Amino acid sequence: MFREKDNITADTLLGVDVVSVIYNFFDDLSHSAQFPPQVESKSLYFDSVKNYLANSNVLQQLSTLLDEGYKLFFCSDHGSIVARGNGKKIEKYLQEKFAKRACLIEETTLAEFLNFPQMKIPFVENKTIVLPEGRTMFSNLNSIEITHGGITVEEIVVPFIEVSK
């Protein structure tokens, strides 16, 4: 297993049949993206990714792997969307696990006072998921950011790409 900062060469690959490389810059760049008011497009994020790739060793690593006869498979652990803050929050005493696009809470009579869609989680007792409406997130009113954790198609369906020489 390698990370992006590792030096991948023909020598480091000797005798290795399967290689795993973890690239975290996509997630890091998405969470650090700054959006001007009223910009609700991933174009600024995509520009950051292109600039990063142009100045990193990722292309060299991938070329080395292809030159050494490896077949490459790319996937992600989740998708993401551009979301707008709804200015609302789930009180900390209700939260079991929190993400800006969904919050897991203990099943409680207090949940009836939350004015958000709620769903019981199948096969898990006494747990409810609370979701903000549409493409909003539990964050400062009208803040804009790339986030994940919700149930839109963009957040739960991820690409799987195969590349061979």
The predicted-structure confidence for 66-90, as pLDDT tens digits, reads as follows 999 999 999 988 888 999 999 998 8
pTM above 0.85, yes or no: no
Q: How confident is the model at residue 8 (pLDDT cuts 50, 70, 90)?
A: very high
Q: Can you give the pLDDT at residue 39?
A: 85
Q: Give percent of the chain above pLDDT 90.
A: 52
Average pLDDT, the chain: 90
Mean pLDDT of 95-100: 90
Partnered with residue 98 across adjacent β-strands are: 103
C-alpha 74/C-alpha 28 separation (Å) is 17
Contacts for 85 with CB less than 8 Å, ≥ 6 apart: 136, 137, 138, 139, 140, 141, 142, 143, 144, 145
Q: Can you give the pLDDT at residue 107?
A: 79
> Tell me: the pLDDT tens digits for 24-51?
998 899 888 888 888 888 999 999 999 9
> Tell me: the pLDDT tens digits for 120-161?
888 888 888 899 999 999 999 999 999 988 888 888 888 899
